[in-house]
Amino acid sequence: MSTLDGKVAIVTGGARGIGRATALELAKRGARVAVIDRDSAGAEETARAAGRGAFALEGDVADPASVAALVAAVLERAGRIDVLVNNAGITRDATLAKTSDEAWDAVVGVNLSGTFYMTRAVAPHLTARGGGVILNAASIVGLYGNFGQSNYVATKAGVIGLTRVWARELGRKGVRVNCVAPGFIATEMTAGMPAEVLSSMQARTPLGRLGRPEDVASAYAFLASDEASFINGQVLGVDGGLVLGT
């Protein structure tokens, strides 16, 4: 198992789902994790479960002032930052004609702008130390689109683009930037979908099941480790082969 001993990692959206699983996995591999979420109680519970000095911070990645305060708090508590996992994300699904301005702005604010604000705030600390890792949450729909998700798809395609830009800009300063593109993962976000939709997702996945949050967390942990030291600017699909089944 790849080790993250002595590293300090930030995981946004860490109260539940993939974010929670990622925080737990990074901690299991030796990292001290700062769990960030708007749900303070959920973030605290994740931090308690993670152990190893993990701590929770309440904040909103879509608010630049909140982001600045969060990063300052992590540095005050932990003294350094080595890994940033931009996991926070929301959906507000609707077809094009029914997508409101509010739904568009909310999803773009968290998924895309939030990733930008967090990275902009953390990157100087990584480059000043001569290295670090930034990992972004993309999605398979950012590569291939999905019916009724104009806002979500736009953000995930944007995250892929930002990942490639930052890999070029920050790689020369020792910072690796990659993203993970999950397929259909069994989380609280998908639990609210109709049963027939979930069955269709599973049927379209060649491995014959939905992914688990732990599947994605393991990918993040690998990319955060020194075992991935020559991987930069990549999109790692964790989708059970879904592309083959579409």
CA distance 140 to 243: 8
CA distance 161 to 144: 14
**Residue given tokens 């860490």 in the structure block:** 14
Instruction: Centre a 10 Å sphere on the Cβ of residue 6 and count the other Cβ atoms it contains.
Output: 10
Which listed residue (117, 144, 152, 220) is catalytic? Answer: 152
236, 242 contact by CB (below 8 A): no
Q: For the residues of 14-39, what is the DSSP string, one character each?
A: TTSHHHHHHHHHHHHTT-EEEEEES-
60, 38 contact by CB (below 8 A): yes
- Is residue 152 annotated as a catalytic residue, yes or no? yes
187, 90 contact by CB (below 8 A): no
126, 134 contact by CB (below 8 A): yes
Q: Which two tokens stand for residue 226?
A: 């020194």
**Residues tagged active-site:** 152
